[in-house]
Each structure stands twice: as structure tokens, then as C-alpha cells.
Structure 1
Amino acid sequence: MRAGLNWQRVQALVAAERASYIARNPESARLAGEAAQHLLFGVPMHWMNDWSTPFPLTVREAAGACFRDADSHEYIDFCLGDTGAMFGHAPQPVAQAIARQSARGYTAMLPSEDAGPVAAELSRRFGLPCWQFALSASDANRFVLRWLRAATGRSKVLVFNGCYHGTVDDVFVDLVNGVPTQRDSLLGQVYKLTDHTVVVEFNDLPALEAALKQGDIACVLAEPVMTNVGMVLPQPGFWDAAQQLIRQHGALLVIDETHTISSGPGGYARAHGMQPDALVIGKPISGGVPCAVYGFTEELARRVERAKRSAPPGHSGIGTTLSANMFAMAAMRANLEEVMTEQAYQHMFALAAQLADGLRDVIGRHQLPWCVTQIGARTEFQFTLTAPRNGSEAQAVMDSELEQAIHLYLLNRGLLITPFHNMLLVCPATTVRDTAQLMSAFDDCLAGLT
């Protein structure tokens, strides 16, 4: 038995589903074979091999909550680009804005007419007055760490065990048996990350306080809800106490809302009354066009400006040539003004709640010791009866083989969920019929396993 399941049945299901996938997707197989001649690892990015499939599934087109593959199969997409397409594939207002901008230029290293209105809307939504732009949340987090180290004169950043903030080197530190340890999977790392990165468990206020008391932490970089190690919710009162400790010890709080923007039009922090010093949002903010934003409080913005003006001339290490390009700014303006609406969020919240309740019902009927967590439009099931309280607990219950078995079963029935964990997103185009189809297939999958 494993996670309440007979493992021989799981292995038998995987064998059958792999054979079915191979038989159903000859064109994807052909394209994968051709691509392997010139693509490193056979895919545009090496992690595209980490899905549950025997070979990569090639996407032909995507719109709304669905996509079509090279073999003309249609899928309901509950992955949505792991939040990159959280508001649906090719939302019409964004598509129209891109079409208009395509004839008006892409990049010029100068502000476009959309820049001011976009910054004003970001300020209105998120409550921070000063903004800058990047091409990804990874870049935005990296830039914010530079700004805050410069502004505070402190070198260290504190993160929570099991966190994910893109490809920022500083965050690849875990607690292994309670000891901060540089992650072995980080390729080509040549300097010791633990010299400047402090890691503690999420929801552990005494550990957070002990680290902050050293007086060398520039900032705490955190998701308000941990999402990439399986969802881990803050315990009641955690963030109120944590924010007080961070302020008391002269550090700053950076909230990464790239995934938790699923919590509402102003993100989790605004919905729950948090007051971060800086905020980062990445992949969904421009409707899937590469772009990210980061904002500062007025006080922090002035400190950042002083740091830049007092520094020697030359490259700051912050910003890239294509940051805030005209194409991305046009897409972001359309997405913010016409797609990320209160009405769209209310639709997503209602569907996600139905989905979460349906998953709990299916899991309960099969008497499995699993739990379901929902944050706004984001839902996840985990292989534990009680929701994890920190990154170590979340990692301990993850089972990649079981995840891939379930994912492949659903994929062969036209349903895609997020790889690496069991996250499901709904978008404005998702329907009640879509969620019902998912729950029916999930029920059938568990029946075959139990």
C-alpha cells in the first residue's frame, strides 16, 4: 500500500495508460522524433520532459480553457501554463491589443503610451505607488533583491523551506534535517549560497524571529501561501505576527504573488490586509506574454532611488533591453483593464469551490487519506489526510510516481493538470461542464486504483 493505494494496481494502470498514449498520438511522436535531432534533450526547455508522457505532447493551438494537440485531440486545460495562462489562452482583449501593437512596433528602449496607465492601474490594484518591469518573475525577484540589498546595506535574504521564486540563485537553499543546505539540483553553482541566504520553515515564528534578530537580513522573500511544493497555507495569525517581527528587526517584506494572484484582483496580500514593502507578479500579468512587474512602497522607493543616485555610474545589474517593451505593455494594459476583472474572479472562485468540494467528495467515497486545498481559483489535492503546515511536511507527502499515474490517466481522457504536483486552475472560460468532466474522470481513475 502507498498513499492508501495498492501499488501493483498503480503500476498496471501506468503501463496501460502509456500504451494508450503512444497509440493515440502518432503525430506528436513523429514531431518529437524530428525535434530531438536539433533540440537539447529533445525539447525547447529540458523540463518539458518532466511530464508523465512517454514523449512530449505537441500543442497546435489554444484558446480559452482548451487546447488542441498535433493529433487533433482536444483537452480541457486545468494547468493553464502553470498560471501563465491563468486568465485563459489568448484572451480576446489581449489578442486584439497584440494585433494592434504588431503594426506599431515591439521595442524601442523608451516608454510607450501604455506605461503610465499600466503603472497607475497596478498602484490602484495592489496599493503600492511605484512600479518597474521585467520579463519574468525570476528577473523581477532577482532585481528586487539587488534593490533591497542596496537600499538596506544588508546582504542576506530569508526564504521559507520549499519555496519557489523562479530561477533566482539565492532561493535554492533547503532545510535538510534542520540544516540549511544548498540544493544539489542547482547546476553550475560556484559560490556558497548559504553565506547570504537564510532558510526557516513556513509558519515557524520562533525560527523567523531568531533569524531576524541577527540584524543582517535585508528582506524576507515569500509567497503568502506556499504553492510549488504543494499548497501550504499560513496558520491563523502567522502573517500578522511575521510582519511585526520583520518591521521590528529592520528587514523588509517582499511578497511574490505570481501564483497567488489567483486569490483576487489585488492578489492574496490585498485580500488579506497584508502590507508588504515590495510586491512581485510574473507570468499571468500580461495574459501569457512574457512580462513581470514589481512595486515598492513610497518610503522604499525613495530609499532605492537614493541608493542608485549615490552609486558610481555604470550598469546596475538591474533591467534588460526588452524589459517594458511596447508589445508586453500593450498586452498587460488590456489584460489588467479588460480581462482581470472582478466579474472574472467571481466566476473562477465559484467554479474552483465546486471543484474542491467535488474532489473532496470523490476522495472521501474512495476512503483515501488525502486532502484538498483551495485558494481562490487555485485548487490542489495532496496525499495526506491533514494539510501540510510547512515545506518539510509538504515534501514528505509528495509522490511523483503516483502524481504521474493520475496525470497520464486524465491526459488520455482530454484533461490536463499541472505537472510536478496536483494543482488545478480554472480561468474565466472554464465551465461547470469542464469541472464535472474532470471530477468524473478523477472518480474513474481512483476506482481503477482502489
Structure 2
Amino acid sequence: MPTDSGVDRARLATLAARERATFAERRPRSAAAHQRADHLFGRVPMTWMNKTAAGFPITFETARGNRITDVDGHEYLDFCLGDTGAMAGHSPAPVVQAVTRRLNDLGGATTMLPTEDAAAVGAELARRFGLPYWSFALTATDANRWAIRLLRAVTGRPKILVNSYCYHGSVDESLIVVGPDGRGQSREGNVGAPTDVTVTSRVAEFNDLVGLERELAHGDVAAVLMEPALTNIGIVLPEPGYLAGVRELTRAYGTYLINDETHTFSAGPGGATAAWGLEPDVLTIGKAIAGGIPIGAYGLSEALAATLLARTDLDLVDMGGVGGTLAGNPVSTAAARACLEQVLTEPAFEHMIATATGFATGLRKIIATYGLPWSVSQLGARVEYRFADPAPRTGTESAAAADAELEDFLHTYLANRGVLLTPFHNMALMAPQTTAADVERHHAVFADALAELTA
């Protein structure tokens, strides 16, 4: 059953059917493209692209800044931004120029050799996040996987602890949630798990220090892998003292702490780690730092790096299970250098966060106008509205606050009027190119949707 979101379900169903019909009528070329994709598994390049509110995905043709145009000629104001991958905007000029120079002028898409760009990116990441040593991957998922292997090696402990309903890509150890009995269980829908996730993992609710200590006390946890704020189940912000408590407990129990900043990078130029003064042993990140070009990276503390390099029994060079042939390639590191040095800068973040604050303020006013029991959460340049008030404080509460029917209606209504949100939830992300006028446009459409919904 959907959550009680304060809306009339019959009216919602009628409006949703109308919007889905409008969506299909206006996008014959997208529909045809989807039907022709016979040799794509699920008719899409990646199966999660079938998470669409309206029955089939939009096939896009062009993307620049915070605008997308589809094959039917519709332009969209993009607040999805590749679910953070395009937080710098689509095809930012410095990144395009850097990639073009690398491929066209200098050559070498992959060489298995270092470049000066890679060293510059490592230095910039160290400056921003405070961890001195960096290594590269192609996705944040891989960065998390490799960090986990390193920390299991140095601790000799088998388990990883995560938060219930966390998001760390497709890392096997992260697909665990707190069950109704308070114990860990496999997350619903987990595909082809290589082993029972409770064998490899422990789980605690976000914002629950008592639960965290109970799990750490077993003495078998190599690392806590966490986002400083949950994001992919809807934004769940840390309560005062929680993150400091996590750091205190991990140190007390000899457990390493990994901050996954792939989404929480929206908190500022150094992510939540810099914005909130955090001190992880490892930091993982991906998506946004290369302006949309595939990349992942992980940073290590001074002490951890020294410990790892002193372990002559660990094969960190050849077949030890850490690394990939295309990781750290010249194209992705050139893109990351351009993006970090010229696009996602301190002034850019100031603009993005200010724009997001305006977005959140406007949302709260509209929701209050229509008397709905919803809330709004902001994480730097990232804003999300939730079908619950107060906002959920744990991942399990956040999952329970979902309302797929209502979410799909709002996403389709917005898309039909030229506005895109992240398809997995009600997240809006600001790019450097997002303006106050863009925010006002979203709010006008959003207000119209609520007016119809509550009439």
C-alpha cells in the first residue's frame, strides 16, 4: 500500500492516466526508438533506464548546460543532471576542450601510463577533501569495491558495515537492510547475490549510534562504508552529533571509516567531508568530478597508505584484485582536471547552493499553500521533497515514505511541461548553469500540479 501522502487516490489515478496518455501522444519518435531497440536487454542501454514514470523512456538527442532536447524536438529544463553525473552541466566547454585535446591533439585514449593530468587531479582532490593519496577507477562502485578489499586486507576482518537503504552502486556488501526483527537481511530485489549478504555485511540505521555500536562490538567489521547523508532513498540528513559519534565509535572499535561522497559532493567543493569537518580514513567519489566522463576515485589517509605500502604480501601491482586496465586513463583524468579546475569551482558551488536554497524555500511555500503533509530536504546543491512531515530520519523510514503512484504522476506532469527530475526519486540538482528563472519555471509547473491534485 502507498504511504498516506494526503492526496485523493481516485483523483490521482485519473490525473496520472491523463498525463501518461499525453506523454505517449507527444513522443512518437521516442516510443518508436524504444520499440526498435530489439537487441538491447530491456530495450535500453542499461536496465535502470526503464525506471520511467510514463511507460517508456525519453530518447534524447542533444544536451547542453542544464537543457536536454529529445528526438521529438521537446526541450527540457534538466534538474536530474544524470543523477549527479552531469552536476557540472552537460558537456561543459572546458571538459569538451580537454577531452578533444587529449584525443585529437595529443592522442592516447588508454596507454597504461601515467599523465601529468592524473597527478594534478590527485593534488586537487587532496586539497579539497584532505586525504593525501589518491587512486582512480572508472566508477564509484569500483572505487568502493577496491577500498573494501584494501581494508579487509589490513584489518584481517571479514565484514563491512553499511546503513540500511544506503547507496554505494552495485557493491554486493551494501545490499543489506534492517529487517522487521531488527536484524540484517538481503535488500528486496537483490540480483544474483554471490553469498548471503549477512555473511559479508552488518547493517545499522542511519542516525542510530546505539545500533551502530551494537554491530561494531562483534569485532569483525573491517570498515563502515557510508554516505555522510543518505541520498538515493531520498535525502536523509545527519542529526546533530551523529557523524562525530560514528567517527568516535569506529576508532574505538578499530574499524576504518569510508565516506562515499559520490552524491554528497553536492554539499560543497570538498563535499560533506570539508563542509562538515569530517575525518574519514578513505573517501570514495565518482560521477560528477569529470563532467560526465566515466571516472571513480578513492583517497587514503597518510597512516592507511603507509600501512598498505608496507605490506609486501599484498599484490597491489598485478593480480591482487585492485585495479582495472582502463582506470586512470588519459581521457578521464584530463576531463577531471578541467572539471575541477574550471567548472565545479568554489564560486560555482556558491551559486549552485544559493540557487538550491531558493528552490527549497519556494517548494516549502507551495507545499504549505496546498496543506500537504510533505517536507523538503536540502543537501547543498541538491533538494528533495518527501511525502512525509517531518522528514524521515532513517533509511527504513525513508523507504516507507515512498509513494510510487504519486511520484510517477508528478514526474510525468513535469516532463509534459518541459521539466525533468531524477527518475528514482524527487531530487532536483542545480548545475552551474541553473538560474533563478529556471527554479521559478519548475515551481510554476509544480504548483499547477498540486492545484489539480488537491482541487
TM-score (norm 2): 0.97
Shift of 1:94: 0.3
SS at match of 1:310: coil
Aligned to 2:25: 23
| Structure 2 CA distance for aligned equivalents of residues 75 and 384 of structure 1 | 28
Query: Deviation string for 1:150-175 (max 9, x for gaps)?
Result: 11111111101110100000110111
Q: Look up the match of 1:155.
A: 158
Q: 1:275 aligns with which of 276, 279, 282?
A: 279
Determine the C-alpha separation between the residues in 2 that align with 1:54 and 1:175.
Answer: 32
Measured in 1, the distance between the counterparts of 2:63 and 2:394 equals 36
Contact kept in structure 1, 2:79 and 2:428, CA below 8 Å: yes
Could you report, residue by residue, the CA deviation over 1:107-152 in whole angstroms, capped at 9, with x for unpaired residues? Answer: 0011012111111111111111100000001000000000111111
Instruction: Read off the aligned partner of 2:167 and give its amino acid letter.
Output: Y
Paired residues for 1:23-422 under 5 Å: 23-35=25-37, 37-103=38-104, 104-177=107-180, 178-307=182-311, 309-311=312-314, 315-422=319-426
Q: Counterparts of 1:311 and 1:258 in 2: how far apart (Å)?
A: 27
2: CA distance, partners of 1:56 / 1:230:
22
Q: Which residue of 2 aligns with 1:11?
A: 13
Q: Given residue 246 of structure 1, which amino acid in structure 2 is its aligned partner?
A: T
Is the deviation greater in 174-183 or in 363-372?
174-183
Q: What's the CA shift string for 1:372-414, capped at 9, x where partnerless?
A: 0111100000001101110111111111111111000000000
**Offset of residue 311 of structure 1:** 3.0
Distance 1:250 1:341 in 2: 36
Q: CA–CA distance in 2 between the matches of 1:184 and 1:267?
A: 30
Gaps of at least 5 residues in structure 1 are none
Instruction: Give the SS at the match of 1:110.
Output: coil
Distance 1:2 1:69 in 2: 35
Q: 1:163-221 CA deviation, whole Å, 9 max, x = no partner?
A: 01000001101111012111241212231120120001111111111111222111100
Partner amino acid, structure 2, of 1:57 = I
Could you tell me which amino acid in structure 2 is paired with residue 251 of structure 1? T
Which residue identity is paired with 1:108? T
1:448 maps onto 2:452 in alignment = yes
Quick one: percent identity of the two aligned structures? 49
Residue 111 of structure 2 contacts residue 329 of structure 2 at CA under 8 Å; is this kept in 1?
A: yes
- Per-residue deviation, 1:53: 2.0
1:87: Cα distance to partner? Answer: 1.1
SS at match of 1:81: helix
Q: Deviations 1:304-360 (Å, cap 9, x if unpaired)?
A: 2233x2236851111111000000010000011101111100110111001000000
Distance in 1 (CA, whole Å) between partners of 2:270 and 2:337 is 15
Q: What is the letter of the counterpart of residue 122 of structure 1? A: L
Counterpart code for 1:12: T
Distance 1:368-1:399 versus aligned 2 partners, 3 A rule:
same
CA distance in 2, matches of 1:314, 1:70: 45
Tell whether the 8 Å contact from 1:159 to 1:222 is kept in structure 2 after alignment.
Answer: yes
Letter in 1 for 2:70: D
1:26-49 residue CA offsets vs partner (Å, 9 max, x unmatched): 1111111111x2111111111111
- For residues 309 and 404 of structure 2, the distance between their equivalents in structure 1, rounded to whole angstroms, comes to 45
SS of aligned partner of 2:116: coil
SS at match of 2:378: strand
The CA distance in 1 between the partners of 2:422 and 2:160, in whole Å, is: 29
Residues 400 and 420 in structure 1, CA contact (< 8 A), matched pair in contact too: no
Query: Which of 425, 435, 440 is the matching residue for 1:436?
Result: 440
Length-normalised TM-score, structure 1: 0.98
C-alpha offsets along residues 272-330 of structure 1, whole Å, 9 cap, x if unaligned?
A: 111000000111110010001100000001112233x2236851111111000000010
Please tell me whether the aligned partners of residues 344 and 432 of structure 2 are also in contact (alpha carbons under 8 angstroms).
no
In 2, the alpha carbon distance for the partners of 1:180 and 1:210 equals 13
How far apart are the structure 2 equivalents of 1:19 and 1:215?
56
Distance in 1 separating the partners of 2:367 and 2:207: 27
SS at match of 1:380: strand
Provide the aligned length of Structure 1 versus Structure 2: 448
Q: Secondary structure at the match of 2:405?
A: helix
Q: Which has the higher mean CA deviation after the structures are superposed, 126-135 or 44-53?
A: 44-53
Distance 1:5 1:250 in 2: 49
Unaligned residue ranges in structure 2 (runs of 5+): none
